[in-house]
Amino acid sequence: MEEDTIKIKDLIIIGAGPAGMTAGIYAKRSNLNPLIIESKMPGGRVVLTDFVENYPAFPEGISGQELAGLIESQCRNFGVEFENFVKVDLIEKDDNTFKLKTNKGDFFSKTVIVATGANPAELGIPGEREFRGRGVSYCATCDGPLFKNKNILVIGGGDSAVQEAIFLTKFASSVRVVHRRDKLRAKKILQEKAFNNPKIEILWNSNLLEIKGENSVERAVILNNKTNQKREIKIDGVFMYVGIKPNSSLVKNLVELNEKNSIITDYKMRTSVPGLFATGDVRNTPLKQIVTANSDGAIAAISAEEYLEYELR
Ligand SMILES: Cc1cc2nc3c(=O)[nH]c(=O)nc-3n(C[C@H](O)[C@H](O)[C@H](O)COP(=O)(O)OP(=O)(O)OC[C@H]3O[C@@H](n4cnc5c(N)ncnc54)[C@H](O)[C@@H]3O)c2cc1C
């Protein structure tokens, strides 16, 4: 490939969430000239989080939007370049150059850090897709205010489900958490807050089977998986927190993925393809959080620098 006919970057980072932007800061400080390509505006899933209380250095907590804005400012202060509203559909490797196919043409780079995060998983039940945006939501911060004085269900039992159920009590008159087991997976501190909130009821050993209505969500069919009894209850909205699926389709034919479609990396964020690194929620990380995404991003940037310096000859 002719370097003088095509502009080949040293490093392209895909995704401007905490992982990608931290990689940008570390890469810039290592004298690389990284470009961050982002399909939306910078920030990542953090902007969907009402309140972050476990990110160090903010003893009173901080809104997700504000935190994402601070990380972006730091990145921009270092002069990291951004291309927003560019979606990378596919990455190919030819010799030692990566070709990124996007909706705004092809980009070329010697190294790539994939920091594309993950999206909420669907439950896959009747009514879920039909009523998406008409009562079915995956984002309490975005849609919570639309449910003032309404009765809603939150599906799931992990940190996100419980945290967002608590948030939704600011608007809704009742929040029922539908959980398929008899114990929540959420951290104890969140569980206590939920148990002490008079607006929250937990429906234990329960599965949401179907969402019904005319133009918007009106009823839900719930199964008690211990007694096998089904019942139909009146509701106005359903918020889904049943897991996430990694945004790895852009490299699915290029790198090794695990059974959950997470990109497999080693401790240096190296994938099975030399020069291609992965960070944050898109990789096989044991903890999907902002602080771990940041850490991954820093390591990936340094690994990319080492690769350019010592391996790419
Ligand atoms: C409701 C909720 C509450 C949470 N609460 C907390 C909390 O309190 N504390 C905490 O530490 N963590 C929390 N998290 C988790 C945290 O938000 C994630 O772990 C973190 O954002 C992961 O960062 P990331 O950079 O890997 O991915 P993301 O933040 O998901 O960023 C990925 C970016 O890549 C972009 N992208 C994806 N595909 C492409 C493509 N093909 N081309 C170009 N760009 C692309 C996306 O638009 C996105 O901006 C919460 C998450 C949610 C959903």
**To the nearest whole number, what is the mean pLDDT of the chain?**
95
121 pLDDT more than 80? yes
Identify the band that residue 32 occupies on the pLDDT scale cut at 50, 70 and 90. very high
Instruction: Please identify which of the residues 143, 159, 236, 281 carries the catalytic annotation.
Output: 143
For the entire predicted model, the pTM comes to: 0.86
Q: Whose CA is nearest to atom 4 of ligand 1?
A: 49
26 pLDDT more than 90? yes
Domain boundaries, the chain: 8-119+244-311, 122-240
Q: Is 154 in the pocket of ligand 1 (CB under 6 A)?
A: no
Q: Do 133 and 38 form a contact (C-beta atoms < 8 A)?
A: no
Q: Whose CA is nearest to atom 37 of ligand 1?
A: 116
Atom index in ligand 1 nearest the CA of residue 120 equals 53
Query: 30: which residues sit within 8 A by CB, 6+ positions away?
Result: 301, 302, 305
CATH of 122-240, one of 3.50.50.60, 3.20.10.10, 3.40.50.2300, 2.160.10.10: 3.50.50.60
Per-residue model confidence (pLDDT) at position 5: 64
Q: What share of the chain is helix, strand, coil (3-state, %, to 5)?
A: 25, 30, 40
**Average pLDDT of span 83-110:** 97
End-to-end CA distance of the chain: 15
pLDDT in tens, 195-237: 999 999 999 999 999 999 999 999 999 999 999 999 999 999 9
To the query of whether residue 139 is one of the catalytic residues in this protein, the response is: yes
Q: What percent of the chain has pLDDT over 70?
A: 98
More confident residue, 51 or 179: 179
Q: What is the Cα–Cα distance from 236 to 259, expressed in whole angstroms?
A: 35
Identify the band that residue 51 occupies on the pLDDT scale cut at 50, 70 and 90. confident
Q: Whose CA is nearest to atom 19 of ligand 1?
A: 289
More confident residue, 102 or 54: 102
Place of tokens 């095509």: 6
170: its two tokens: 């600011």
To the query of whether residue 75 is one of the catalytic residues in this protein, the response is: no
CATH top-level class of 8-119+244-311 = alpha beta
Identify the band that residue 125 occupies on the pLDDT scale cut at 50, 70 and 90. very high
**CA 119 – ligand 1 centroid, Å:** 8
Instruction: Please identify which of the residues 10, 75, 94, 139 carries the catalytic annotation.
Output: 139
- Closest CA relative to residue 136, chosen from 243, 215, 244, 240: 240
Q: Spell out the alpha helix ranges (H) of 16-139.
A: 18-29, 64-77
Please tell me if the domain spanning 8-119+244-311 has the same topology as the one spanning 122-240. Answer: yes
Atom index in ligand 1 nearest the CA of residue 53 equals 8
To the query of whether residue 142 is one of the catalytic residues in this protein, the response is: yes
Count Cα atoms within 13 angstroms, Cβ side, for 250: 26
Long-range Cβ contacts of 219-225 (<8 Å, 24+ apart): 220/153, 222/178, 225/180
Q: Whose CA is nearest to atom 3 of ligand 1?
A: 49
Q: Is 113 in the pocket of ligand 1 (CB under 6 A)?
A: no
Per-residue model confidence (pLDDT) at position 241: 95
4 pLDDT more than 60? no
Q: Do 13 and 24 form a contact (C-beta atoms < 8 A)?
A: yes
Identify the band that residue 129 occupies on the pLDDT scale cut at 50, 70 and 90. very high
**CA 46 – ligand 1 centroid, Å:** 6
303 pLDDT more than 80? yes
Atom index in ligand 1 nearest the CA of residue 297 equals 25
pLDDT in tens, 178-188: 999 999 999 99
Per-residue model confidence (pLDDT) at position 48: 81
